[in-house]
Structure 1
Amino acid sequence: MNIVHVLEDFSFQSGGIRTVVLDLHTRLLNADINSKILTTRTEANDDVIKVEGDETPWRFSKNIKRTLKELHSKNEIDVVHIHGVWMFPQYAAAKFAKQQNIPFLITCHGMYEPWLWSQGTLKKKLYFNLIVKNAFSKANYLHVITSNEANKINEIFPQTPIIEIPNLIDSRLAISEIYSSKEKYILYVGRLDPKKGIDLLIKAFAEISPKDFKLKIAGNFNAYKGELETLVKSLKLEEKVQFLGLITGPEKIELFKNAFVFVAPSHSEVVGMVNLEAAIYKTPVITTFQTGLNEAWSSNGGILVDPNVTDLKLALKKAISWTIDERNEYGTKLFNFVIKEYSWQNRFKDWLKLYQSLKK
């Protein structure tokens, strides 16, 4: 079987989407399935098909259709798997697949979540209704990550079949060490973006003003960092809040496993790979109901809240009151829950079944 994944950005800046696509791609290759990634932005050593469009508006690329056509002429496409919904590569791939009668599915990656629709609504609605709705509605499946996302997608694509498979994590990343860090810190890892609720976390941290804790924020620096720094200064937290920039590889693992608690206070997310990453390193996680996680998260070592300062403050006060033993107990309990519900080892079979059902 030959599968081509199409997305506009496969670089580190794409955040969790890169992680999800790379994990799926790697497991398909390991299962002797020919998987390829087609994108306009990537990292230097990635083994993917890169086309121009990285610097153009809408990530427009005249070579996407040509490249797909070349692959198809060599009988190298059985299924087109589109990731994301707002850029030209996704639209072009959907149009091509339909014209060539190739089965295709779209993973929306939470991009139709209500909070995101409220940002720049008119522009998004015009683009959706006038350009992509007809093309995307012809997908064989729309893949969603949570039941909340499924409800939203069903509203806007009522005639298109929906399949739900959550984001998954590799259980082999697990560690055996017990937390024993001498430095106590609360951790956020992810994009610096208003959607992520980082401002709420900073305000809640300021209100509890924990004497022995720092707040570490890891994410690629951008214009929004300036707004967050201004907030930190206004709250007189310059000595307590650290902006670390983009952290990857072994350094990222150390950052996760040595955090006392990880916090992802997002307004809108579909599970969020960082929540699973933290849990796999046995770090307790505070995140929001809006991530679409199984609500049993809260009874299995994690804490779910609504994205507001009051709820975050209460959750943080609870977390920093834990003893080291309590922190490790909650982290281990959450780890076991994630292995059961969100691991590749337990759920990869769902992807294989889906792709096999699409193959003509």
Structure 2
Amino acid sequence: MKILHVTPSYHPAVQFGGPIQSVHLLNRTLVARGVTVDVFTTNAGLERSHRSTEWQWLDGVRIKYFPYSGYVHYNFSPRLWRSLFREVGHYDLVHITAVWNFPVLAAALACRRHRVPYVISPRGTVYPATIALKSAFLKKTYYALFARRCLTGASLVHFTAED
């Protein structure tokens, strides 16, 4: 099986918290079980000069870091968009981490276009308390315009907590 994991930021950008570690651990575990895992992410949390989009290897996981522009927590990346639409059809499944970021929207749209199933892991970002915590109006608007379709179009929504 060949999986593409799309996430706004990735290891070693540990300043973004626990999901960075757990997503890399998940990917390493899949590789150890014989699954091919590639990651498309942005260079958020890395040196802004890190602009190489060549494949890099980390613990058996193949990664492409794409430059982003604008707000660090939205991660707008035209190069990521183009690569997703060009390459997503080569994968059996796409695993998307997060909800409120450009890579999520780009990956969901590319998957729909190429009829590739995708899984979304919101990682705690859709709790009402989390939404109310910061930028509630923007998140509710973004949800109505984009995120709801991304979530409802997923083959599976993977929650990492019972509540």
Provide TM-score, normalisation by structure 1: 0.38
Q: Percent identity among equivalent residues?
A: 26
What do residues 191-237 of structure 1 show as CA deviations (whole Å, max 9, x unaligned)?
xxxxxxxxxxxxxxxxxxxxxxxxxxxxxxxxxxxxxxxxxxxxxxx
Letter in 2 for 1:93: A
Equivalent residue number for residue 87 of structure 2: 71
What do residues 106-136 of structure 1 show as CA deviations (whole Å, max 9, x unaligned)?
0010001122121222111011112221232
Equivalent residue number for residue 56 of structure 1: 70
Equivalent residue number for residue 354 of structure 1: none
> CA–CA distance in 1 between the matches of 2:64 and 2:162?
33
> CA–CA distance in 2 between the matches of 1:52 and 1:80?
20
> CA–CA distance in 1 between the matches of 2:115 and 2:96?
15
> CA–CA distance in 2 between the matches of 1:68 and 1:146?
29
More helix by proportion, 1 or 2? 1
> CA–CA distance in 1 between the matches of 2:86 and 2:6?
15
Which of 70, 81, 103 pairs up with 1:89? 103
How do 1:58-137 and structure 2 match up within 5 A? 58-72=74-88, 75=90, 77-119=91-133, 120-137=135-152
CA shift at 1:67, angstroms? 1.5
Deviates more, 1:24-33 or 1:35-44: 35-44
Residue pair 2:88, 2:110 contacting (<8 A) in 1 also: no
Equivalent residue number for residue 142 of structure 1: 157
> CA–CA distance in 2 between the matches of 1:80 and 1:147?
23
Residue pair 2:84, 2:106 contacting (<8 A) in 1 also: no
What do residues 172-200 of structure 1 show as CA deviations (whole Å, max 9, x unaligned)?
xxxxxxxxxxxxxxxxxxxxxxxxxxxxx
Residue pair 1:64, 1:93 contacting (<8 A) in 2 also: no
Residue pair 2:93, 2:118 contacting (<8 A) in 1 also: yes
What do residues 67-93 of structure 1 show as CA deviations (whole Å, max 9, x unaligned)?
1234345x3x11110000011001110
Letter in 2 for 1:3: I
Equivalent residue number for residue 18 of structure 1: 20
CA shift at 1:46, angstroms? 6.2
More strand by proportion, 1 or 2? 2
Gaps of 5+ in 2: 51-55
Letter in 2 for 1:66: R
> CA–CA distance in 1 between the matches of 2:128 and 2:150?
21
Equivalent residue number for residue 2 of structure 1: 2
Number of residues paired by the alignment? 145
Three-state SS of the structure 1 residue aligned to 2:31 is helix
Gaps of 5+ in 1: 149-360
How do 1:1-360 and structure 2 match up within 5 A? 1-10=1-10, 11-41=13-43, 47=58, 48-53=63-68, 55-57=69-71, 58-72=74-88, 75=90, 77-119=91-133, 120-148=135-163
> CA–CA distance in 2 between the matches of 1:56 and 1:94?
21
Q: Does 1 or 2 have the higher relative contact order (CA < 8 Å, sep 6+)? A: 2
> CA–CA distance in 1 between the matches of 2:146 and 2:87?
25
For the pair shown, the structure with the greater C-alpha radius of gyration is 1
CA shift at 1:101, angstroms? 0.3
What do residues 223-269 of structure 1 show as CA deviations (whole Å, max 9, x unaligned)?
xxxxxxxxxxxxxxxxxxxxxxxxxxxxxxxxxxxxxxxxxxxxxxx
